[in-house]
Structure 1
């Protein structure tokens, strides 16, 4: 849940800052970034829950990973920001590592790199 709260703060900060400091095109782009970061945070929350409940529903983790990858693909297609592209690549690699760990039989893979990379996307989406 901490990731979700952090993204909610990013949304608020972005709306307040961008509303007065930028034109509509920049505002739309920032909102796309924030909305996608929020979706990624929700998917990371789902992944954490899925890994915690892996014994009950092993497919849940795969679905959460698929959702994160889908959001990353969407975000990657919308940005030309180098910092955001790097953060997306880092999260993509972390998701791949978790998927491989699960495929190799690890029912409790380390999700720290995933949550860290998702948090970095939230930071990059915050106007500074």
Structure 2
């Protein structure tokens, strides 16, 4: 796996960690947050698997990133408010991953702590 692919895999793992560490307060919100967490984990695991199989095709990284962004947008559409906003922000990070502009992708990934804080606040 090349260094950019490793960074992408680490970012995906970070998103999964953000989803798993999101704590939820109210019972209805807890159910939403748990469901979102499980879906994000599934989506990012699929993304990581896609990166592993994209070793010889850099454009496959972009395709996998866009597919992941689309899945996250669909997931965000099931929810409201800040929770939907946080998931949409994650989708934006994946949309920014372009093989010919890894600096843009790296910059977007730098926003992951902010996105995680937004998700935690939405579930708190």
Q: TM-score range by the shorter chain?
A: 0.5 to 0.7
Answer yes or no: is the 8 Å Cα contact 1:43–1:65 preserved in 2: no
How many Å apart are 1:72 and its aligned residue?
Answer: 1.9
Q: Say yes or no: does 1:115 pair with 2:100.
A: no
How many Å apart are 1:58 and its aligned residue?
Answer: 2.5
Q: How many aligned positions are there?
A: 112
TM-score, normalised to structure 2's length?
0.57
Pairing partner for 2:26 from 17, 22, 29: 22
Matches for 1:6-21 after TM superposition, within 5 Å: 7-8=16-17, 10-12=19-21, 14=23, 18=24, 21=25
Question: Unmatched 5+ residue regions in structure 1?
Answer: none
How many Å apart are 1:2 and its aligned residue?
Answer: 6.1
Change (3 A) 1:37 1:44: same
Question: Unmatched 5+ residue regions in structure 2?
Answer: 1-9
In our comparison, the structure showing a higher alpha carbon Rg is 1
Indicate the RMSD between aligned Cα atoms, in angstroms: 3.6
Point out which structure has higher relative CO (alpha carbons under 8 A, 6+ apart). Answer: 1
